[in-house]
Amino acid sequence: MTQTLTCISPIDGSVFAERPALGPEAATAAVERASAAQRAWAARPLAERIDLVMQGVARLGEMNDEVVPELARMMGRPVRYGGEFGGVNERASYMARIAEQGLAPIEVEDSENFRRLIRREPHGVVLIIAPWNYPYMTAINGVAPALIAGNAVILKHATQTLLVGERMARAFHAAGVPEEVFQNLFLGHDTTAQLIAAKSFGFVNFTGSVGAGQAIERAAAGTFTGLGLELGGKDPGYVMEDADVQAAADTLIDGAMFNSGQCCCGIERIYVHEALFDDFLAKAVDIVKGYRLGNPLDPETTLGPMAHKRFADLVRAQTDAAIAAGATPHIPVFDSDDGGTYLTPQILTDVSHDMRVMREESFGPVVGIMPVTSDAEALALMNDSEFGLTASLWTQDPDRAEALGAQIETGTVFMNRADYLDPALCWTGCKSTGKGGSLSLIGYHNLTRPKSYHLKKVTT
C-alpha cells in the first residue's frame, strides 16, 4: 500500500499538499541512478559545478513571489518577512567563493624524490534530510557545497514543507544540474532507514530532533556511513551588567519569538545581571505585547501560527507546568490565541531549572528569564543543559566575552547578537545537539574524504 505524505496547513487545518512516498524498490533505483551519474558530475571542472549551482540558486530566487505565501501556508511564517532567499543566496554564494580553497589539495612535498599530497574526494551520494522551520536555508547548507564538491545529492524534505524540495530540484534542473545528480525524493521514515542501513549513501546530513537523530544513528550502525547531525537546542542569552539593555532586549526577544520561536538557534532561556533585571524585563514585555498574532497571509501579522498543533500543545504544556510550579507569566492571552496552532507568546519569570520550560527544548514562543549575580552563576546555568548549539553574551568587553565563551559548552558563541548563522563559521554543536559541522571550510571537509598520495619518483 502506497504511503501518502500530507502537509496540513497551520492556518486553518486544511490539507495543503499531498505526495505519494516512494517504496523501497523505487527509492533504491533512484539512489542507484544518482550513484551512476555522480562520477561524471565530479569529473566536471570545479568552476563549472560552481556556476551551475549558483545558476540554480538564482532560478530559485526567481520563484520567491510564489515561495513566500507557499511557506506561510505550509509552516505559518508571516509573508511580511519575505521568505528565505536572502539567506539562501548568502550561504550558497559564500560556499561558492571558498570552494577552491576548501577543496584544494594539501601539498606536503614535491621534490626530486617524492610527491606527497592529500586530496579531497567526494563521498559519492549524499543524503540531506532537511527540516521545516527554515526549509530553504537549512537545505542549502548541505545541497550547495555537496554538489560543488562533486557529490550527487538526494534531498528528503520534511512533510510539513512538502513542496520545498520540488521547487529546489526544479530550479537546479532548469539551471543545468543533471536530474540524476540532484534528486528530491518523497520518502517515509521506514524507507529512509532501510536506505541508510543498506549503505546507500557516503554521507548523511540531518537537521531535526534528537529522537530522529538517534534513529538515523541506529539505522547507520555498522555501515560506517558518515553522519552530520544538528539536533535539539536550548540556547541561552546572558546580559551582563555593562550591556546595552535596549539592544539586548530587542535582539534576544526577537531571537526567542521570531518564526513563532521555531528556530534552531532561537533563544530559549535568558539570564540577566540583577542590576539590569527589572529594566530588561520591562523592555522585553513591551516588545512582546506589541506583537500581532494572526493569519500569516495578512501583511500586518508579525507572529504566525506554529507549524502544527502538537508543537503548540507541547509549549502550552511546558508553560502551564511552570506556572503551576510558581512561575509568573507576563503576557495576557491574546484574543487570537485559539488553543490550537495560534499561540500567545509568553515571558516567564520566577523560573528555575527544575521546570521543563528551562530544560527541555520548547521550539516555540516562550522564554524564561532569571536574574543572576555573577559570571560564575550565569556560566553554571548556561552549561546546565543537555544541549549546546549557541550562546549569546551581552557586554561591552570582548575579552570578557571571549574568556567566558571558552568555558561555555556550545557550538557558537555570540557577543551582542543572536540567532544568526554566519556561513564563514562552522555551524556545529555539542552534547545532545549533535555532531559534525556545516558551512565554512570545515563544511567542505565533512562533505568530502581525504585521500593521500605518496609518490616515489624514479631516479637514475
Burial 69-105 (b: 16+ CB within 10 A, else e): ebbbbbbbbbbbbebbbebbbebbebbbebbeebbee
What one-character DSSP code corresponds to residue 333?
A: P
Q: Provide the 10 A C-beta neighbour count for residue 28.
A: 16
pLDDT of residue 235: 98
Judge whether residue 146 has pLDDT over 70. Answer: yes
CA 241 to mean position of chain CA atoms:
31
**CA–CA separation, 88 and 97 (whole Å):** 14
| Percent of residues in the chain assigned helix, strand, coil, to nearest 5 | 40, 25, 35
Strands 152-157 and 226-230: unpaired
Mind listing the pLDDT tens digit for each residue in 94-125?
999 999 999 999 999 999 999 999 999 999 99
**CA–CA separation, 247 and 130 (whole Å):** 32
Position 299 confidence tier, pLDDT thresholds 50, 70, 90: very high
Helix axes 46-62, 85-97, angle to 10 degrees: 170
The identity of residue 311, as a single letter, is: F
Contact status, residue 414 vs residue 420, Cβ threshold 8 Å = yes
Contact status, residue 130 vs residue 159, Cβ threshold 8 Å = no
Contact status, residue 235 vs residue 256, Cβ threshold 8 Å = no
For residue 157, give the C-alpha cell: 524534505
pLDDT of residue 460: 65
Contact status, residue 116 vs residue 453, Cβ threshold 8 Å = yes
**CA–CA separation, 378 and 41 (whole Å):** 50
pLDDT of residue 6: 98
Mean pLDDT of 395-414: 98
pLDDT of residue 459: 77
Average pLDDT across the chain, whole number: 97
Class of CATH domain 235-423: alpha beta
Mind listing the pLDDT tens digit for each residue in 177-193?
999 999 999 999 999 99
Q: What is the DSSP string of 29-95?
A: HHHHHHHHHHHHHHHS-HHHHHHHHHHHHHHHHHTHHHHHHHHHHHH---GGG--SHHHHHHHHHHH
What one-character DSSP code corresponds to residue 223?
A: T
Mean pLDDT of 127-147: 98
pLDDT of residue 214: 97
The identity of residue 185, as a single letter, is: L
pLDDT of residue 1: 73
CATH number of 4-231+433-456: 3.40.605.10
Domain boundaries, the chain: 4-231+433-456, 235-423
Nearest to 126 by CA among 451, 425, 427, 448: 448
Position 152 confidence tier, pLDDT thresholds 50, 70, 90: very high
Provide the phi-psi class of 135: left if phi over 0, else alpha when psi is between -120 and 50, else beta: alpha
Cα 271 to Cα 285, 358, 417, distances in angstroms: 15, 11, 15
- Bridge partners of 155, per DSSP, are 128, 184
Angle (CA) 320 326 331, round 5°:
60
What one-character DSSP code corresponds to residue 314?
A: H
Which residues fall within 8 angstroms of residue 223, CB to CB, at 6 or more apart? 196, 197, 199
Mind listing the pLDDT tens digit for each residue in 426-442?
999 999 999 999 999 99
**CA–CA separation, 357 and 449 (whole Å):** 40
- Bridge partners of 428, per DSSP, are 437
Mean pLDDT of 295-304: 98
Q: Comparing 4-231+433-456 with 235-423, is the CATH topology the same?
A: no
Contact status, residue 228 vs residue 203, Cβ threshold 8 Å = yes
Mind listing the pLDDT tens digit for each residue in 277-286?
999 999 999 9
